[in-house]
A and B are shown apart, each in its own frame.
Chain A
Amino acid sequence: QVQLQESGPGLVKPSETLSLTCTVSGGSISDYYWSWIRQPPGTRLEWIGYSYYSGSTNYNPSLKSRVSISVDTSKSQFSLRLSSVNAADTAVYYCARRCSACLHDAFDIWGQGTMVTVSS
């Protein structure tokens, strides 16, 4: 059974870069799209973007200038980098797998989520 686990700092200073890693276990990282989704406290889900295992990416235009998602197939990991963070980037960050059986975007496997706070 495929499982995802996020890891990374829980506290990031304003203007610095947020870096998170998601480790895929119990299945292959190949042939899937891998995504990051965040949820600010008490609010709705926000899609950040996704990367195909081969490297092609698609990002939320509102974050595009600051975000990068990459996949390391040798480590079965994919990563998120979000630069120039501010308080509005405080959220629970989830990694997720795009559902392969789905005709269109849906996410069938999620990590447990990791809280990231932006504060000095």
Chain B
Amino acid sequence: QSVLTQPPSVSAAPGQKVTISCSGSSSNIGNNYVSWYQQLPGTAPKLLIYDNNERPSGIPDRFSGSKSGTSATLGITGLQTGDEADYYCGTWDSSLNILVFGGGTKLTVL
């Protein structure tokens, strides 16, 4: 069982918006910064969001991140079929002294 909880799957139609939640606790999300990764089938994860809401160079502004209390959210607007992937949240856990990842959410673009 993951320290960070994500919904197993979400789905939406092309062009629509979707949000993916990541729920944690005060020892991780509540007091640390969250990052988000996109993992396309058979490939390595790719950094989408760091420091809660910052995008690396080259990541389109269709992707956004936010944090409130012990939860974080990844938002994706203007969904494309190429966005179908697994999405993971990650952060440091100060009690366990490890970097932890969520269980992952599979996005289906219908």
Contacts and interface: CB of A to CB of B under 8 A. Distances in A.
A61 interface: yes
A108 B56 contact: yes
A99 B101 contact: no
Determine the main DSSP class of A at the interface with B: loop
Interface stretch (A11-19, A24-32, A42-50, A80-88): A42-50
A102 B51 contact: yes
Given A45-B88, A94-B44, A94-B45, A105 B35 contact: yes
Contact of B50 (A47, A62, A102, A113): A102
Interface string B29-47: 0001101010000011111
Contacts of A108: 47, 50, 56
Interface residues of B, number: 27
A61 B90 contact: no
A99 B47 contact: yes
Contacts of A45: 37, 45, 88, 90, 101, 104
Nearest to A62: B98
Nearest to A107: B47
Contacts of B24: none
B51 A106 contact: yes
Given A44-B103, A99-B56, A105 B46 contact: no
A112 B44 contact: yes
Interface in A26-85: 43-47, 60-62
A60 B97 CA distance: 7
Nearest to A50: B99
Contacts of B63: none
Given A45-B88, A99-B50, A105 B99 contact: yes
B18 interface: no
B2 interface: yes
Contacts of A46: 101
A2 B36 CA distance: 20
Sort A-B residue pairs by CB-CB distance and give the 4 closest, nearest first: A106-B35, A104-B33, A106-B50, A47-B99
